[in-house]
Structure 1
């Protein structure tokens, strides 16, 4: 039987079947072993009451025929008929009206503003402005990849959808309603096929957006340079100075610290991490075992809603044909073939669900292409191997339990702090897990800080509609002052995980208090006795008197705080007060120290993150290493990297990738300063076409640290 027909049969079996009456008109599909045209002629001559609805001669030879059940029964007597299939009514395997996080937010809070009149620029992969939910909001833009005024998403080879998804969260106005459906949407395509682009294109897009008068810019892009001195971070700072509110995604390199990358490291940007919203999470359980395995449903999968117990079957990486998989959960190892190919194999073999476990440490994110009728989920390597050992090989059946998941920081969300400046990032967090939004041709769920940032950009548009004269600093202060701290198992997440906390839309639009000074970043402790004052600037935007009380942080050995006892603010008044910290270095443990300074006014609670660091912490000294070869006669090599601190010496050696043959030392720099390091090297040998590995060795305080970066020189 043809595979396409086999799939059709299995879907019919899953969807159920009701026998028709003899006089009831139905449609069936008939597969034949002769010419389709000859068969149709034969039907019209011998059984004229039947109606030929459609003909098929590509996937298989057959026709769709409509008639009464009694008349259709005569077809079975024809020797040219191989098989008959009942026809069912199908619907998309995704919900016809998806559950949009933005709809939930707007309905929950009954937002009185839509962002009307506010210009929002999306710097991304472009936008499908022909999407029915975006065509009304879209007002124009520019393409810094092809340098024209058509910022459409890449189509065909290397096609993209990211920018359209981001744009929908901000300003969709159709079946989906974005956070700010009344905003004026502009698109700036800085990332081309495959979602790739350079800092040159990103900076050009920022410049275009500022020149076009954008009130808000959203940048759901970034790199791994954890430092404030990269050109894109400088460009963002300049855009804010010129009056544009800039929102940037923190990155998806969590849960480790020091993973926020440029331009999210910009001190003036609003950097956004990702959180999940409360939801039911499926857990796999084996009878008699206390351990429960959480499954992360892949993007594009149908929900995991199994209500019975099922056996497991091991399928390796999916190279072999599946045997005896009907009615079972197929467990694959990640690798070699795509998630979609694995899922299709399992579905065609009659499986009820698919679990794919990682081939490396930890959990992973996955996405499916097309519609797979059975759920597909990811688990860690440890969890997958345990399931197979305790379930599959032991003959145990697995059941699904549903657990109520709490609101929490997404594990992939990048964490701070920022090297060199020792700043707290992200500034706040917003929903970024399984966010359904617009994509070319429809809707799709995606997750990442890329999805969290446009929630905040949309709220920034609402704030500017409500307060059109506010500066970017005031918009940022409103968002951060009103954010709600998140906890994990009764303990607060740290500032470098959540910043000021979860986005609070209503409070940010009409804040009772503006804390304009941001986080208290005391920097690195070098002296034996350390003392530093930092200002906190507060503004009363209301028409009532406010008394602000500040609570000292909990006492720690060798640390003391001085804070004002009370700050009195008249309506509309702004005041600045100082907070001082004193440290005795001998009593303070090495590493990053962070927490919150807590404030109270008129019964409302507020918080200001603080951070200081003693000596070194576990962060990379070199990030973002780039090496490019000129095409001129002089054959110069241009290099650029970020150095997190001043070191004794940096050397760079080049090796041929694969063979690891040594190609020589490229450079040696003595006593380089922290920040952006760049320059040129004169190269007299032949072209360096092909892939290489650059090893960067750093000598600091008598220790050596080595970092490896892949390099490819074009022909």
Structure 2
């Protein structure tokens, strides 16, 4: 989500005994165990008893005098593997067994509209064209925190029965309909919290929000307490939704994510959206999203994943596998303001989602650092950290804080009337709090602080939020959005693309307050939140829109169409350039007619993995059949048929050649000419051949892009456009120096 949820890394049980007491033989085996995922690649043969196989494998790695752990999950519908508790010794023995690709600890992950679809050009009229084309056959799998089925966004009025390809089911304690056609939930350890509802019902709001953004129905006059009123809908309102709940009060387990992928692929979904990630990037086949997305790709299912909310720090992007779509968050032309007025009539343009109306009444204002409680410090209270404020000093007052306060207290529990946060960090993003709140930049914050210090009885008020529209707000990479480079493969551009992720209105659950604070008693049908979690389902909806016109296109073809038609974003406005926004901002209208596509399939990714040093024996386990890396035409990382070009270097000298193949999906008879944007000094790019002539649809042509450069700057952003006079097929060319 826009805010961070539970971020626990893997858990351990430590057993400590006195050195004078003999240690029982089983203590170092059983009590040191942790939940582990054993990934075994392709689906097992139909005649194999999976449960027996997994149990036998556990018997082989466990000492004879130790109890054999139970199999907690068996993955067998779309790929192969299981979950069990193992200690380090057992993990090592398991990893060495025949048929095992990887063994890794189960970790906890975190959950990472009205105006937004209009902003990207997908009007209701154009969405109806998609509806007539797809006829309700698109199924979007939502791996998230569940869904609130009673929202109007998921009403099935006018929907026929599910498509015949659908093989999924609905949990016994949940009622599906012809919009929400499937719903399941997963909890590997079975340890539910008091606030959890043991069903696909959403108690967090996150899954409801992402699901409605991707595929919600048309709902007129949707708003959050009168803010951001408009017609809420998803990218393809006619699409069906399949729910896979993995998010709970205590977080999200890797094992549950993989189980959800296993089911979603086998159930027959067309696209999977997952706005979930961790803080550490792992090797592809130790990562649940990458594992699931790989097998989804093999079955023709595109996976759209959020890039992460750890920006603007470089190298924080989390979804990096080349076979999935990694989505960054950016702004639209709408901004939601919560203005502040001081007792001296000075007004400041604050940013926040504030539904409270103080009706212009002035309240005393105090700086948090002047109100620490006896157990805190002025440093902590200055940032309004949880439990740091003295209720006696802040009750009935508005509090000025030094930072974007994201704690659960934020003045509410201390009796404050309102809160003003100052600072440039995440000043582009509004949040909802349990009391009137607004955020100002450092300059305005200093002005307000000066007023507090100079006036004997300073006062202020915070106005209810209102929306303003201006193109100057648009196409900025969100400050929180995770940046590249891709730390697994520097020369694969991630994130891939950017989509609206700031102040997004979408459906919500009544079981969670809009601020997500327990003391907040408000209930809302629609909520406004921010995060790459909100950007991801926008890209999912755009991909579903493309697929509705091209049902037989591969995941790579759909991704290519989105990337090569993306709206260019400014490197001047976004200093991290493509590392912040990928190919640019989604443009689904253009994407249905991209002209040329950079297609790729299973064999292309296998060649890529061969080039990355994966052994043939390991690949056989992953894909289920033998392939010798020495027999395939192994290319370098720069030969993967990706719609972007990246060259990283540790020196200032670059000499790199890329090989690409494009497929004609535009006009049967067409001639495309290569056009390059101006390059920096001492920077030469050549395209050979520079002209591609096509005589039929589906025809393929290959070319090489050669970069020879002496870098003067750390980041160099150029673009290649194939232009036939009708279609402009644009790819970013990004060169940067590693530090």
> What's the TM-score once normalised by structure 1's chain length?
0.61
Instruction: Report the CA distance shift for 1:109/1:415 in structure 2 as closer, same or farther (over 3 A).
Output: farther
Residue 357 (str. 1) matches residue 357 (str. 2): no
Tell me which residue corresponds to 1:133: 153
d(CA) in 1 for partners of 2:358, 2:704:
53
Q: Deviations over 1:37-59 (max 9, x none)?
A: xxxxxxxxxxxxxxxxxxxxxxx
Residue 241 (str. 1) matches residue 307 (str. 2): no
Instruction: Report the CA distance shift for 1:553/1:337 in structure 2 as closer, same or farther (over 3 A).
Output: closer
Tell me which residue corresponds to 2:390: 319
Tell me which residue corresponds to 2:217: 173
Q: 1:302 aligns with which of 326, 331, 355?
A: 355
Tell me which residue corresponds to 1:222: 277
Conserved? CA contact 1:121–1:188, under 8 Å:
yes
Instruction: Report the CA distance shift for 1:306/1:415 in structure 2 as closer, same or farther (over 3 A).
Output: farther
d(CA) in 1 for partners of 2:341, 2:218:
45
d(CA) in 2 for partners of 1:545, 1:333:
62
Q: C-alpha displacement at 1:252, in angstroms?
A: 0.8
- Larger strand proportion of the pair: 1
Conserved? CA contact 1:122–1:187, under 8 Å:
yes
Instruction: Report the CA distance shift for 1:134/1:363 in structure 2 as closer, same or farther (over 3 A).
Output: same
Partner secondary structure for residue 139 of structure 1:
strand
Q: 2:587 aligns with which of 493, 504, 511?
A: 504
Q: 1:440 aligns with which of 488, 509, 514?
A: 509
Conserved? CA contact 2:215–2:239, under 8 Å:
yes
d(CA) in 2 for partners of 1:100, 1:553:
32
Q: Deviations over 1:406-430 (max 9, x none)?
A: 2122111111121231111111111
Q: Deviations over 1:431-469 (max 9, x none)?
A: 111111112222211111111111121222222222222
Tell me which residue corresponds to 2:241: 185
Conserved? CA contact 2:497–2:563, under 8 Å:
yes
Instruction: Report the CA distance shift for 1:190/1:321 in structure 2 as closer, same or farther (over 3 A).
Output: same
Tell me which residue corresponds to 1:6: none
Tell me which residue corresponds to 1:540: 664
Tell me which residue corresponds to 1:28: none
Q: Deviations over 1:586-635 (max 9, x none)?
A: x4358554432233331554421123444x42xxxxxxxxxxxxxxxxxx
d(CA) in 2 for partners of 1:285, 1:336:
20
Conserved? CA contact 1:281–1:294, under 8 Å:
no
Residue 570 (str. 1) matches residue 707 (str. 2): no
Q: Deviations over 1:328-372 (max 9, x none)?
A: x6524566974564399344xxxxx641336x96659674466x5
Partner secondary structure for residue 267 of structure 1:
coil
Q: C-alpha displacement at 1:183, in angstroms?
A: 1.1
Q: C-alpha displacement at 1:101, in angstroms?
A: 3.7
Conserved? CA contact 2:400–2:421, under 8 Å:
yes
Q: C-alpha displacement at 1:543, in angstroms?
A: 3.7
Q: 2:720 aligns with which of 579, 597, 608?
A: 597
Conserved? CA contact 2:367–2:449, under 8 Å:
no
Instruction: Report the CA distance shift for 1:390/1:215 in structure 2 as closer, same or farther (over 3 A).
Output: same
Instruction: Report the CA distance shift for 1:101/1:529 in structure 2 as closer, same or farther (over 3 A).
Output: closer
Tell me which residue corresponds to 1:387: 447
Q: 1:110 aligns with which of 126, 134, 145?
A: 126
Residue 406 (str. 1) matches residue 473 (str. 2): yes
Q: 1:278 aligns with which of 333, 353, 358?
A: 333
d(CA) in 2 for partners of 1:239, 1:323:
54
Higher relative contact order (CA 8 A, sep 6+): 2
d(CA) in 1 for partners of 2:477, 2:721:
21
Write out aligned runs for 1:73-84 (5 A). Answer: none
d(CA) in 2 for partners of 1:245, 1:499:
18
Q: C-alpha displacement at 1:107, in angstroms?
A: 3.5
d(CA) in 2 for partners of 1:305, 1:277:
28
Conserved? CA contact 2:154–2:216, under 8 Å:
yes
Conserved? CA contact 1:343–1:376, under 8 Å:
no
| Unaligned residue ranges in structure 1 (runs of 5+) | 1-97, 348-352, 618-715
Partner secondary structure for residue 480 of structure 1:
helix
Partner secondary structure for residue 586 of structure 2:
coil
Tell me which residue corresponds to 1:378: 439
d(CA) in 2 for partners of 1:421, 1:497:
16
Residue 142 (str. 1) matches residue 184 (str. 2): yes
Q: Deviations over 1:161-218 (max 9, x none)?
A: 2111111112222634322221121011222224x12222212211111111111000
d(CA) in 2 for partners of 1:337, 1:531:
49
d(CA) in 2 for partners of 1:527, 1:385:
42
d(CA) in 2 for partners of 1:386, 1:526:
41
Conserved? CA contact 1:537–1:574, under 8 Å:
no
Conserved? CA contact 2:652–2:711, under 8 Å:
no
> What's the TM-score once normalised by structure 2's chain length?
0.59
Residue 417 (str. 1) matches residue 488 (str. 2): no
d(CA) in 2 for partners of 1:190, 1:557:
51
Instruction: Report the CA distance shift for 1:464/1:305 in structure 2 as closer, same or farther (over 3 A).
Output: farther
Conserved? CA contact 1:206–1:235, under 8 Å:
yes
Q: 1:431 aligns with which of 500, 513, 524?
A: 500
Residue 549 (str. 1) matches residue 673 (str. 2): yes
d(CA) in 2 for partners of 1:218, 1:452:
11
Q: 1:342 aligns with which of 412, 426, 444?
A: 412
Residue 250 (str. 1) matches residue 307 (str. 2): yes
| Unaligned residue ranges in structure 2 (runs of 5+) | 1-112, 157-178, 220-231, 372-383, 511-524, 600-640
Conserved? CA contact 1:339–1:368, under 8 Å:
no
Instruction: Report the CA distance shift for 1:366/1:284 in structure 2 as closer, same or farther (over 3 A).
Output: closer
Instruction: Report the CA distance shift for 1:570/1:307 in structure 2 as closer, same or farther (over 3 A).
Output: farther
